[in-house]
Every structure is written in C-alpha cells, then in structure tokens.
Amino acid sequence: MLRCQYNYLLAQRFDWHGQNRFPLDRCPLICQLPELKEQPNYYSQKASLTQLKLDRPWYKEIHSQVLQEVPKKVQITFERWLKGDSNGNKSGRPRFKGVGQYKTFTYPQFKRHHFANNKITLSKIGNVKVIVHRPIPVGFDIKTVSVTKKADGYNVTLSLDDKTVPTIKPDFNSDNIVGIDVGLIDFYVASDGSRINAPKHLRKAERKLKSAQRRVSRRKKGSNRRNKAIKKLAVQHKKVADTRKYFHFKTARTLLDKYDVIAVEKLNIKGLVKTQLAKSINDAGWGQFIIILSNKAENAGLKVITVNPKGTSQECSNCGHKVKKWLSQRMHNCPVCHTSLCRDLNAAINIKARGTHALKAQLMSS
C-alpha cells in the first residue's frame, strides 16, 4: 500500500513537471502562458492523504505518521534530483518502485516504553518479538523506528538521541599519519609496511556466493527450483555484506587506534571499473570502508584525508622518478636511486607523503 502511494505521489509530481516546465531557449516576445496549476509539494501531498483514507478506507490500517513519511520520501528524492543534496550532488531521476522494491517504513515518533523485554510495539501492527543485537545505552531516547525487509527477515533500526553528548572537535597529531593503498592481493597495504588480508570467513562466504549464483543460472527460468535457489542466493548476498561490514568496522578501529590521520586515494569508482578491472574486485568493499573509516575518525576527533590518486603507483617514493610498470609487475625498482620495494608499499608511501602535504595546506588555510 505504501508503495502504491509512493508511486502515485511521484507520478503527480512528474505530471506537473511535464505540463508546466517551459523550455526557455527561445520564445516570442509576447506569448500566452497557460494558467499554472498549483505545484504539488510536501504539504499539499500530505494533506491529500485525508481524502485518500476516505476513498480507500483500507489505508486506515496504516498508522498515520507512517503514511505521512511517504510524501516526505517523495519530496526528498525529488529535491535530490532537481536541486541536489547539501553538497550539491544531484541524484538521478526518481524511479517508480516495482513489487518488492519498497522495503522500508518508518515511525517518525516513538515512545520509549514501546520497546521492552525483547518486544517492540508498532502501532497498528501490534507486539512483535525482536532479537536485540545491542541493548539501548542508558540515557538515550529513541527517536525513530524503521522496519526493513531483508533477505533473511525483517530488521528494525532505531535511531537514538542523547542530548548530553557534546559535539566532537578535531584533536589530532598531524605527524601521526599513515598512508594506505588498496592492494591487489591484500585488502590494503600501509606505508608502515603492514598489510591486511580479507579474513578467511569472508572469502569463504564469497565463494559460497559464487556457487549460489551458478546454481541459479543453471536452473530453468520460472521454475520452482530456480526460485528457491534465488532465495538462497539473496540470503548468501546478505551474509557476505554483513561479514564484510563487520570486517570494515574492525579494520577501521585497528587503524584509528594506532594513527591519528589516515591518507587514502580519492576514489573514482567509475574510472576504476574501466581501467583497472583487477583492482575493482576490491572496490565494492573499499568505498564502504572509506565511509566507515571517515565516520569513525570524525567521531573520535581524528582525520581521514583523500589525495589525488594519479601516478601514486608509478612515482618512486624515494626520489620522485617516474617508473612505468604494468599491473602485473609486483615490484617497484627505481633505475635512478635503486630503491626496490613492493609496488603497493611504494604507493602507500606516496599516499602518505601526499596526505601530509594536503593536511599542511589545510591547516595553513584554516
């Protein structure tokens, strides 16, 4: 029901745009403009929900605040498309959602006592037993509750609020810096020579994912057996994603325990996929890792700095001479200063140097 309403409100907005957008590249000096219809916005769409419940009484089964989240979602996706987010990054044209593509609903206001003893009370749904992964810390207030359908069941996400938590100010030693490079074999190689491998259980889960994928493609389209395999594949996908995320959190903590500043290459995912296919095996995970690392650093008052990735693997980290090498060449051997290093380590040292440089420039200007 929420999905249908989402699509309906989205269509309303598209309609208005189709009818009222006027291409201004050329027009006569005097021209008649058609009378403008009122543009649908969050408030008008929210107000229309009252009528909706009269026309379609079955919508009364949804809690009113949950239903009101739909025009809000439409508003956000539409604004991101036309104006972009707070950083000015525009998203693509919003899409209508097909069956099974609308997976989350949210209670924007939630009462603390509705969550107790492994039970959560969701208005209009009732008491639901939940598995609590993490207890709610003392002093926090529950702000919103979201329920998401995932491959292995329903997930409840609580967003918490604690007014006593102060905002964290950056407080780091800019000399305590490390550079890390996405390795071809390793997850990363650091400028201090340490390297981290993807853990065994993650690689095992990834192998299982591959075989689940093959099972699906072997079976006949539309068959029951194939549908069953598809379900299993979805569960395996989720397992890999969860394991990877846990690994990313753990790795980020290890790095930030040791260093105050982490220098990484600025990611260009589109470019990576095109030019360095081998590297892109890792990058699905790499983007997420950088986000987790940045958030963790910020919360601890530490810093992640991104540097220009151009030529980090070719430049000699000792003398700056450009040493061209193929992806298959695993060593960096400089003909000028005779430095001989693993290529990833050489890159990591370059990244560290660039990070130090960029950080100094940032600190100078602020």
List residues near Zn ion by CB under 5 A: 316, 318-319, 321, 334, 336-337, 339
In angstroms, the CA 3 to CA 149 distance is 13
Question: Which residues are registered as beta bridge partners of 127?
Answer: 121
In angstroms, the CA 158 to CA 155 distance is 10
Identify which of residues 73 and 332 has a Cβ nearer to Zn ion in the complex: 332
In the bound complex, what is the minimum distance in angstroms from residue 282's beta carbon to Zn ion? 27
Cα Rg for the chain, rounded, in angstroms? 26
Identify which of residues 104 and 333 has a Cβ nearer to Zn ion in the complex: 333
In the bound complex, what is the minimum distance in angstroms from residue 321's beta carbon to Zn ion? 5
In the bound complex, what is the minimum distance in angstroms from residue 311's beta carbon to Zn ion? 14
Identify which of residues 9 and 316 has a Cβ nearer to Zn ion in the complex: 316
| Count of CB atoms situated within 10 Å of the CB of 348 | 32
Q: Which residues of 194-217 are buried (b: 16+ CB within 10 A; e: fewer)?
A: bbbebbeebeebbeebeebeebbe
Identify which of residues 69 and 181 has a Cβ nearer to Zn ion in the complex: 181
In angstroms, the CA 158 to CA 141 distance is 10
In angstroms, the CA 222 to CA 101 distance is 19
Residues whose CB falls within 8 Å of the CB of residue 306, separated by 6 or more in sequence, listed in order: 263, 264, 265, 266, 267
In the bound complex, what is the minimum distance in angstroms from residue 317's beta carbon to Zn ion? 8
In the bound complex, what is the minimum distance in angstroms from residue 333's beta carbon to Zn ion? 9
| Count of CB atoms situated within 10 Å of the CB of 260 | 19
In the bound complex, what is the minimum distance in angstroms from residue 323's beta carbon to Zn ion? 7
Q: DSSP character for 57?
A: G
Identify which of residues 290 and 353 has a Cβ nearer to Zn ion in the complex: 353
Identify which of residues 216 and 334 has a Cβ nearer to Zn ion in the complex: 334
Question: 268 is written with which tokens?
Answer: 């260009």
Identify which of residues 60 and 322 has a Cβ nearer to Zn ion in the complex: 322
Question: 52 is written with which tokens?
Answer: 């909706």
In the bound complex, what is the minimum distance in angstroms from residue 344's beta carbon to Zn ion? 17
Assign residue 88 a region (left: φ > 0; alpha: ψ between -120 and 50; beta: otherwise). left
